[in-house]
Chain A
Amino acid sequence: MALLELENVHSYYGNIHALKGISLTVEQGEIVTLIGANGAGKSTTLKTISGIIDPRKGSVRLEGEDLVAYRAHEVVSKGVIQVPEGRRIFTRLTVRENLEMGAFLRNDTQEIKKDLEWVFSLFPRLEERQNQVGGTLSGGEQQMLATGRALMARPRILLMDEPSMGLAPVLVDLIFDTIKDLNEQGMTILLVEQNALLALDVADRGYVLETGMITLAGDAKELAANPQVKEAYLGG
């Protein structure tokens, strides 16, 4: 059984039919990427999984259990954790407070401490800046913080929405290295990206989303070699 499975999901914003029957699966330990142009419905897909939007039709299942009935905060408690688009850190709280907020649902103080150390080892910059308020971090540091905060919840699956957005190439590399790193440590990741080249490079499998529908799916290497994909997303 797949860890995460979407079947024929239809989501709307009022009358706008944003997802028109999405089906996808993420297996335990995989990196799966969802690529597509602006407005294709990538963020909507993640929001639907997280319970922020309820689909009108279709099902979202985590290890067979339907998530649609759950409210957003309950989905979090199931271990489905999102790193939102545009980071959305708590700008007035310190880095450390932000990270601790990520572990809000947990009670195991000792383990939280260990995870904090672990996040600091992944992103040493955050440790240096732990008493600085989030809003004063650079864009790259904010992305690290948003990722770190999600990790503090001990996700079973991590949903990342365009982590490369607005970052300098060096930083994008750093973030993607971390993604690979996390995956090697066993983390399952659903990665939404516009930067198809990079995303297909780290991912095991990929889906191409166009105006609310999945038009291509398959092995990441094959997708990267697909002429259609090449033309549309990889600049020829």
Chain B
Amino acid sequence: MTQEKKPTWKDAIQLGVIGGVLVLFVSLVGMVQAFDGRYIISETLTLGQLLLFLPPLIVGYISATRTDAQHRVSGILFGSVSGLVTGAILAALLLLGSAINLRAMFINASPELMDILMFGQETLAVATAVLVIGGALLSVLGAVIRLSPPLIRSAILSGVSAVIIMGIMQELLKITFGGRDWYMPIDDFLYEQKGLSWMGVVVTFLLGVAISLWRARSASRPKKTVVKTRSRERQRYVQIGSFVLGAILLLILPQFLGPYPSEILNTVGIYVIMGIGLNIVVGYAGLLDLGYVAFFAIGAYVVGVLTTTGSLATVMWSWWLALPFAVLVSLLAGVILGIPVLKMRGDYLAIVTLGFGEIIRVVALSNWLKPYIGGAQGILQVPKPQIGDFVFKDPEQIFYLVAIGIGIVAFVAFRLRDARVGRAWKALREDEDVAEAMGINLVNTKLLAFATGAAFAGLSGAIFATKLGSIFPHSFNLIVSINVLSLIIVGGIGSIPGVLVGAFMLVGLPELLREFADYRMLMYGALLVVMMLVKPEGFIPEKTHKAELTDRGDVDFDSEIEPIAPAITEI
């Protein structure tokens, strides 16, 4: 293991060029300019500038990653070369943009952009030098951060991230909590008119550092022993205690957050319910279903038809009465889809389910069913659920429905996973033929997975219908299926906590990023790609899936067992 890691000039320049492409990209798509007025730190640093600073920093950091402790100095040296190249590429843009009009090709290569790239310098020559040297310095900084001891490194990174995140969140926090009494003092303390105050910078940085240190500490502490020494009874009390505490927190959370954040949470929650359902089909049983939105639609439409008081009114049931039907009909639809695809595997299954999803959407749009479900106009006036005098009217109250829904499906999913059928799913996912040879009834096992998943989506659709108060076919297109699938992959396929994290990242975050309008999806896409590169097994991986993705393969799940002797080919 004494392989020398020595960076070469080629590596350094290559990285520099990658950094250069990044800065060119953010400049020429117009992000630098668009976010120039958006201060992260008041009067000091704009988001636009940050976008320019990050690439050389990252390039320097990566450069240093390729060296080991013995080559610290050369690591920094090579880092600086990378940054120099990045800076030079940006300078080239400045020179070119000042000399000739690039706008015919790049609409965003405007005089304003050139002005930003001048960084307040008078002459082009000085500005060019500033860009090149600045690039080099930034990447040296990146390299130094990388080469500092791990504890300090992660503290710095965490602190800086905290500052950037809080800087970006200013508007969002204001929109979200602006009307709340408790928020005003916080806002005054952290922010100037535009951007963080210096006080705010210091406080958020320290907060980031504190979080990082706290995480490092809890990670180094042995985990299991604490639980083991506790008596059964105490554990039970702790369990009940934390459950009650959690319930109380959930009860007051929406009031505390207000309507807009509650609405976002509800949207996230609807996806969590679907995610937990699809996780059973794809994550547990390994059946790739791309038409999952169909069951969501069926749940919503059943509730719509049975409850609406509008022009398509039928029986005008209460939401509660319609709910079990929505779930049941979705469940049956799951079985009905399941039967024809019993013999299909992998790609074929994906294509057929994809078709099924489209069929449901087209049927919903069709003239044929228009008298019942309204075609493109959809179903209006879906009533809100009610218990006694309590109406689940606003996002704050709908939140309770969503929370209870998540609680139920998560509970069911956990129980099923640990039950016999959970083991059958696992075997099925690993190898269908061998599963059969273990005596597992493939037909029942598959149908049960489809049915459970569909029922959960039906529940989700029922909540969605009343949350929106109306149903339109365009809510049920392919992108919903793709989103649900993506969120379980990002969260860690097969893992229920992973679904929560994935839904927050893929559904919640885009909502939060609304401020960035057109660039939102760009950032979202970039985030997804980075995410899958950094953590291909998802945020909270389930152990079997993790085994699939670790390249060494010899994962030993039980840390008490000694490591396996390497390179056993034949005993």
**Interface of A with B (CB < 8 Å)?**
50, 52, 71-73, 76-77, 81-82, 84, 88-94, 100-102, 104-105, 125, 129, 131-133, 135-141, 149, 153, 167-168, 171
Contact A104/B571 with A88-B431, A88-B433, A91-B430 known, Cβ cut-off 8 Å? no
Among B423, B431, B439, B571, the residue within 8 A (CB) of A125 is B571
CA distance A48 to B420 in the complex (A): 28
Instruction: Determine the distance from Cα of A131 to Cα of B420 in the docked complex, in whole angstroms.
Output: 21
In contact, A133 and B555 (Cβ under 8 angstroms): yes
Q: How far is the CB of A138 from chain B (nearest CB, A)?
A: 5
Residue in contact with B440 in the complex, picked from A88, A100, A104, CB distance below 8 Å: A104
- On whether the beta carbons of A76 and B554 are closer than 8 Å, the reply is no
Q: How far is the CB of B565 from chain A (nearest CB, A)?
A: 10
User: Inside 8 A of A89's CB, which chain B residues have their CB?
Assistant: 434
Q: Contacts of B564 on A, CB cut-off 8 Å?
A: 129, 132, 136
Asked if residues A76 and B437 are in contact (CB atoms below 8 Å), the reply is: yes
Known: A72-B437, A82-B437, A153-B438. A136 touches B427 (CB 8 A): no
Give the contact-size bracket for chain B.
20 to 34
Chain A residues near B100: list those with CB within 8 A. none
Q: Is the Cβ of B430 less than 8 Å from the Cβ of A105?
A: no
- Residue contact A73 to B554, C-beta cutoff 8 Å: no
CB distance from A184 to the nearest CB of B (A): 24
CB of B548 to closest CB in A, whole Å: 6
B569 contacts the other chain (CB 8 A):
yes
Inter-chain contact A139/B437, CB cutoff 8 Å: no
B427 near A139: Cβ-Cβ < 8 Å: no
Which residues of chain B from 512 to 569 have any CB-CB distance to chain A below 8 Å in the complex?
544, 547-548, 553-558, 561, 564, 568-569
Contact of B430 with A138 in the complex, beta carbons under 8 Å: no
Q: Which residues of B lie under 8 Å from residue A125 when comparing CB positions? A: 571
Bound complex: CA of A47 vs CA of B556, how far in Å? 34
Question: Of the candidates A72, A138, A140, A153, which one forms a contact with B436 in the assembled complex, judged by CB atoms under 8 Å apart?
Answer: A72
Question: Which of A50, A92, A105, A139 touches B547 (beta carbons < 8 Å)?
Answer: A92
Q: Is B442 close to A, CB under 8 A?
A: yes
A135 & B553 in contact (Cβ 8 Å cutoff) = yes
Q: Which residue of A lies closest to B546 (CB)?
A: A92
Interface 0/1 of B429-463, CB less than 8 Å to A: 01101101111111000000000000000000000
Q: Write the nearest CB–CB distance from B285 to chain A, whole angstroms.
A: 14
- B-side contacts of A139, CB under 8 Å: 570
Give every chain A residue within 8 A of B557 (Cβ-Cβ).
94, 131
Known A72-B436, A101-B423, A153-B438; judge A93-B430 contact (CB<8 A).
yes
- Contact status B438-A92, CB under 8 Å: no
Question: What B residues does A104 contact at CB under 8 A?
Answer: 420, 423-424, 427, 438-440
Contact string against A for B residues 41-79, beta-carbon threshold 8 Å, 1 for contact and 0 otherwise: 000000000000000000000000000000000000000
Q: How far is the CB of A70 from chain B (nearest CB, A)?
A: 11
List 8 A–B pairs whose Cβ atoms lie within 8 Å, in order of A's numbering.
Answer: A72-B437, A73-B441, A84-B437, A100-B423, A102-B438, A131-B557, A132-B564, A141-B571
Residue of B nearest to A125 (CB): B571
Which of B423, B439, B547, B570 meets A73, CB within 8 Å?
A: B439
Against A, the Cβ 8 Å flags (1 = close, 0 = not) of B361-398 are 00000000000000000000000000000000000000
Residue of A nearest to B445 (CB): A73
B434 adjacent to A84 (CB under 8 Å):
yes
Find out whether the CB atom of B553 lies under 8 angstroms from the CB atom of A133.
yes
6 interchain residue pairs of minimum CB distance = A76-B439, A105-B439, A131-B558, A90-B430, A104-B438, A136-B554
Residue among B427, B561, B570 making CB contact with A168, cutoff 8 Å: B570
Q: Cβ of B426 < 8 Å from any Cβ of A?
A: yes
Among B423, B426, B437, residue most surrounded by chain A Cβ atoms (within 10 Å): B437
Whether the pair B440, A92 counts as a contact (CB closer than 8 A) is no
Q: How far is the CB of A208 from chain B (nearest CB, A)?
A: 27
Q: Are B548 and A92 in contact (CB under 8 A)?
A: yes
Residues of A within 8 Å of B426, CB to CB, are: 93, 101
CA distance A135 to B430 in the complex (A): 12
Identify which of B420, B436, B568, B571 contacts A171 (C-beta below 8 A): B571
